[in-house]
Amino acid sequence: MSSTSTSAKRADVYSRVTAEIIAAIEQGTGEWRAPWFHNGTSIARPTNIASGKRYRGINTLALWAAGFAAGYGDGLWGTYKQWQDAGAQVREGERSTTVVLWREIHVSRQGDNEDDDEGHRRMFARAFSVFNIAQVDGYERPAVPALPEAERLAQAEAFIANLGVKTVFGGSEAYYRPSADTVFMPPFNSFRDAASFYGVWLHENGHASGAKHRLDRDLSGRFGSASYAAEECCVEILSGLILADLGIAHHPRPDHAAYVVSWLKVLKDDPKAIFTAASKAQQAADWMHAQQPQAEEMAA
């Protein structure tokens, strides 16, 4: 097959995958969740034992401070009763850490002699005392299913290796660090399935493709900013495109659309944002293919 026909076929796949992601976004998507298993072991990700949800806002800072001061190596927290309900016991003499739960309450305006009686809402704060897993006895973490090494896919491993970007495995976070030009990934066995693992690995290598000595995209945006959102949309679409190229997923997975839509909210004032992101994703995908040995052979 000629390089021209290969490129045309790839462009058709890119158009279809992008269209399907857009269609999924328009139909509505659920909340995106990381496709690897988190057990809350990171002290930097304080998590509640009962709900499994991460603490937010000022509570995160309070639990960080308490955890680091006490030398805890785990981010799992709960109230005295929550630990009891989990079959554990807070040790006598352990000091708690205070967190705050904000709730919205409805207050009637009838006492204010207002004409309308719809009332108004106020935020009500309630303090809770929580304890770290290091302060309790009798708790064992549920076993986390491990993805077998036999599920690795040789063609994806080779494709990503040919990109020449260093990857360090370990921990519970996936990210690209521009200053070290290095991708950091949770281990393979912590992912739900192989497609999720390679999708995330391609996503982070997608960020690496934007480095100044490669495609020179703007990687300086802060978390939550429009430029950060644009980059996240770009590399998540890229991930879907390359998975399709590699035959790992013939259609974009629902989590691709859910992740993209979470960032499109930041870009809501730009109706062309998804198309701009898709265009940059295709450029990055073309760069990835250009790093493969067969690309060099075709050019020779």
Highest-scoring range by mean pLDDT, 63-67, 196-200, 207-211: 207-211
Q: Are residues 288 and 168 in the same domain?
A: yes
40-45 mean pLDDT: 64
Q: Are residues 154 and 58 in the same domain?
A: no
- Does residue 42 belong to any structural domain of this protein? no
Strand order, beta sheet including 182-185: 166-169, 182-185, 175-177
Q: Are residues 270 and 287 in the same domain?
A: yes
Look at the chain and report how many structural domains it folds into. 2
pTM over 0.85: no
Average pLDDT, the chain: 82
Q: Closest by alpha carbon to 228, among 267, 202, 271?
A: 267
DSSP assignment of 127-193 equals EEEEEEGGGEES--PPPPP---GGG--HHHHHHHHTTT-EEEE-SS--EEETTTTEEEE--GGGBSS
- Does residue 120 belong to any structural domain of this protein? yes
What residues make up the domain containing 92? 47-137
Q: Are residues 13 and 153 in the same domain?
A: yes
- Does residue 40 belong to any structural domain of this protein? no
pLDDT at position 293, please?
92
| Pairing outcome for strands 182-185 and 175-177 | antiparallel
Alpha-carbon span 121 to 102, nearest angstrom: 12
- Judged on CB neighbours under 10 Å (0-12, 13-18, 19+), 226 is middle
Of 137, 162, 187, the one marking the end of a domain is 137
Q: Is the pLDDT of residue 298 over 50?
A: no
215-236 mean pLDDT: 88
Alpha-carbon span 185 to 200, nearest angstrom: 8
183-209 mean pLDDT: 93
Tokens representing residue 223 in the block? 């978390």
Q: Are residues 89 and 174 in the same domain?
A: no
241-252 mean pLDDT: 83
Of 137, 166, 197, the one marking the end of a domain is 137
